Amino acid sequence: MKFSYTLLKKLVPEIKNPKALEEHLSLYAFEVDGIEEKTFDIKLPANRYGDAASHWGVAQEIAATMGIRFSEQRAIATLLTRQVTTTGKQPLSVTIEAKDLCARYIGAYCENVKVGESPKWIKEILTECGMRPINNVVDIMNYVMLETGQPLHAFDYDKLEGGKLIVRRARKGESIVTLDDQEVSLTEDMLIIADAKRPLAIAGIKGGKLAEVDTHTKRIVIEAANFDPVSIYKTSRAVGILTDASARFARTLSPELATLGAIRSKMLLQSIMDLKQKGVVDIYPKKQAKKILKFELNRCNAFLGTAFDVKTVRTYFELLGFTITPFNKTPIAAGTFLVTAPALRTDIEHPNDLYEEIVRLHGFGNLRSAAPYVHLVPSGFEDGVVLKDKVRRVLTSLGMDEVYNHSFVSDQFGHDDADIRAELVALENPISKEYTFMRPTLAGGLHGNVESNSRYFDAIAAFEVGRVFAKHKKEIKENNMLGIVLASKGTEQFFELKGLLHELFKRIGLNDVTMYENAEQEPRFAGAYISDQEMLCIESDGECLGYLAKMKHLPAKWHGSIVELDMALLTKLVVAEHEYVPLPKYPSIVRDISVLVNTRERVGDIMQAMQLADSAIIEDVDLIDEYENEKLDGKRSLTFRIIFQAEDRTLTDEIVNKDMEAIVALLRKKFSAEIR
């Protein structure tokens, strides 16, 4: 935004020269983009347009950062408290129809207008700010905007139909010719200023030709208003017109600023052309509340790491126009008091904003450097992070590729199961129907990886570590999961994946793991991708970590198996496993047994029955081979490996043979098994 060095120097005579001012502003207040002769291009933060998009505002910042009081500060505060409305019969009628888009509207009716050339000093300031002088009425409107920050507009009163101004939305089919002869088609969501019949101006953006002030104008209406920033922003972009007024309105101005604009413009018009103000209408239904914040010096110093005293802090606040009052009769010297922000400071909302003002005036470069007094813990030692990295290293060393899939699933997910649909987490603004819900399982993405890569490869070995989401008792539950998939063309992968899992558990330090069939532990959301008839529950220390299952609906001749594990549970169990366990004192005995059973019999049930045959010395039971063939007439061949080991003695063949005979009898009786 362009500012006049001439006007800033007039307001703050202590300014030495343009170069010194540039350095001072950039260090303590706002960044200066450049200087061209007497024009300063200052980069204002969007939240400071309410007070600093004006020469008065920037001058106050300059004075405050220099440690001096701004000469106009008291005058501005006095003007803000003055009443602008006049009593008696008003020659002007103002109506606000779009109350949601106009917080305040001041219309000042003036007579004895003498349109002519502006004084040299006004034209000089306008030129330095990149504006073209037009006539004294228009130039004073622009000058007051530059001085106070309040956009103003002047209408020729004699060109108003019925002496009325109406703030309303445009009607369908309406258009307007602007002051620079552009014809603009209006839409019904645009705010305009109209008389009894026609649009006269695009509110907060540009005036129209119909009520333009010219050399024949004798009576005018000065508009000082406050419009909705979102509406102004959208309209400005829609019509392709960006003005100094729209730039200010679109960044939120205080409704109180209209008072400054109306009074200051009246003062200048009276002094320059002896104008007479005959009536003022001020529609301001909901006045802006004061912003009063509790300030606690000890919290401020703790937050900033400083040691400011009450006197210093109070001086900074008063230089910026803040008002200090006691809190609950506590003396201000105690360090706890109330701070009332200036009406134009729309950016002050939290005590932290007050802390920022203090440290800004003090100077960031003047803050004492100090090492932080905190205990830093390297993130690499966090159990979950360590385990995740270790799992990645193990799986990649076993020849697997890590994949990253979308965290979303389509609107067809679980379409035939109302219970599952009720537990899905929907996106508020999905980018397409393919990404409607947060994924509740990794199985869908891994299944898609097999399908897409089957065209190029004969075997796929991949894993993914990612988050899944689901509703649980009206709350959204988020879990970190590990998914592993092995698939190939023509070769079953179930036992290979099972062996890979055992190797993974061994390398990460989880030893006590069992896998068995359990229909009650079937995965909630993976049913569309796995076979529930060929699935094992993975358990350790009574916790179900996840499942191992064969995949279904794969491309022709492809076989695959998948694993999903809960990383949070895995982390808890692996950490708990980090304890000393002595090596076995006595040797183990290994026996294999092959049986022929009906295909309906579950492998998990058979393994559990064998384990319970003599739990005191049977250490482990594993399935090591499976064979199916049409010639077996509805049966399948299973080979199990049984490990016998006792903690207190060396087992003999006689003891083991006795247990094996019991196991054989059990299998024949309970599962109608044929021993091979």
Q: Annotated binding residues for Mg(2+), as ranges?
A: 347, 353, 356-357
Tokens of 673: 């098994």
Q: What is the residue whose two structure tokens read 């603004």?
A: 429
CB-CB contact of 428 with 409 (8 Å): no
* Residue 68 phi, psi (nearest 5): -120, 155
* Residue 470 phi, psi (nearest 5): -160, 155
Q: Which residues are annotated as a binding site?
A: 347, 353, 356-357
CB-CB contact of 293 with 352 (8 Å): no
What single letter denotes the amino acid at residue 47? N
125 membership: H or E segment, kind and range: helix 120-128
Q: How far from 650 is each of 170, 584, 587, 593, 617, CA to CA, in Å? A: 97, 11, 6, 22, 11
Tokens of 607: 């393994």
CA separation for the pair 82, 99 (Å, rounded): 24
CA separation for the pair 613, 469 (Å, rounded): 41
Instruction: Mark 225-256 as b/e (b = at least 16 C-beta within 10 Å).
Output: bbbbbebbbebbeebebebbbbbbbbbbbbbb
CA quadruple 129, 131, 136, 137: dihedral positive or negative?
A: negative
Give strand pairing partners of 461: 486
CA separation for the pair 536, 238 (Å, rounded): 61
Angle (CA) 663-666-672 rounded to 5° is 125
Q: What is the residue whose two structure tokens read 């030692």?
A: 381
Tokens of 193: 């200023």
CA separation for the pair 510, 578 (Å, rounded): 9
CB-CB contact of 282 with 84 (8 Å): yes
Give strand pairing partners of 154: 222
Query: Reading across the β-sheet that carries 220-227, which strands appear in turn?
Result: 152-156, 220-227, 102-111, 276-283
Q: What is the residue whose two structure tokens read 């004084």?
A: 119
CA separation for the pair 29, 42 (Å, rounded): 10
CB-CB contact of 193 with 223 (8 Å): yes
Angle (CA) 549-552-553 rounded to 5° is 160
Rounded-to-10 torsion of CA 654, 658, 660, 665: 160
In 89-245 the beta strands, taken as DSSP E runs, fall at: 93-96, 102-111, 152-156, 164-169, 175-177, 183-185, 191-194, 199-202, 206-207, 220-227
Strands 164-169 and 93-96: parallel
| Size of the chain in residues | 676
